[in-house]
Amino acid sequence: MGRSIFGWDYPPGCNSVPGDEMEGPCNVCGGFVDSPGPYPCICPECPECGGYGDPYCYVWHSLRRTEEQKFQHEIMEREIEAAIRAENKFWDAWMDEKGDWADEWK
């Protein structure tokens, strides 16, 4: 990996520093890359560019989303929304409790 006038010159197929990839669910199937857990990324390799889970490949290349990818993505979206609701509920309860405590010290 050398240095060019435009920045770092990465090897073919490498778009970023290894280990510096975005963490989180796949934008196509909702699975996690390199995750042996219940929701691994199930996206196939793009035959045109060699990428995995890139929405660009599903718009401009020959890949099409499968029903399994759509279903897993929907499951992950629902789980994320449930986690957000639980987090908001926790903070609402905490603010109510804090308000009661603050009133005692006035």
Question: Which tens digit of pLDDT belongs to each residue from 29-42?
Answer: 888 877 666 788 88
pLDDT at 18 over 90: no
Q: With respect to residue 82, please indicate whether it lies within any of the assigned structural domains.
A: yes
Q: With respect to residue 81, please indicate whether it lies within any of the assigned structural domains.
A: yes
Q: With respect to residue 90, please indicate whether it lies within any of the assigned structural domains.
A: yes
Residue-level pLDDT at 54 = 85
The average pLDDT across 74-88 equals 93
When mean pLDDT is compared across 4-13, 27-36, 48-57, the lowest value belongs to: 4-13
**The residue type at 24:** G
Q: With respect to residue 76, please indicate whether it lies within any of the assigned structural domains.
A: yes
Number of domains the chain is built from: 1
Q: With respect to residue 15, please indicate whether it lies within any of the assigned structural domains.
A: no
Name the 3-class secondary structure at 8.
Answer: strand
- C-alpha to C-alpha distance for 98 and 95, rounded to whole angstroms: 5
- C-alpha to C-alpha distance for 8 and 4, rounded to whole angstroms: 6
Q: With respect to residue 33, please indicate whether it lies within any of the assigned structural domains.
A: yes
> Domain limits at 51?
23-100
Q: With respect to residue 63, please indicate whether it lies within any of the assigned structural domains.
A: yes
Which residue is it, tokens 């035959």? 47
Q: With respect to residue 106, please indicate whether it lies within any of the assigned structural domains.
A: no
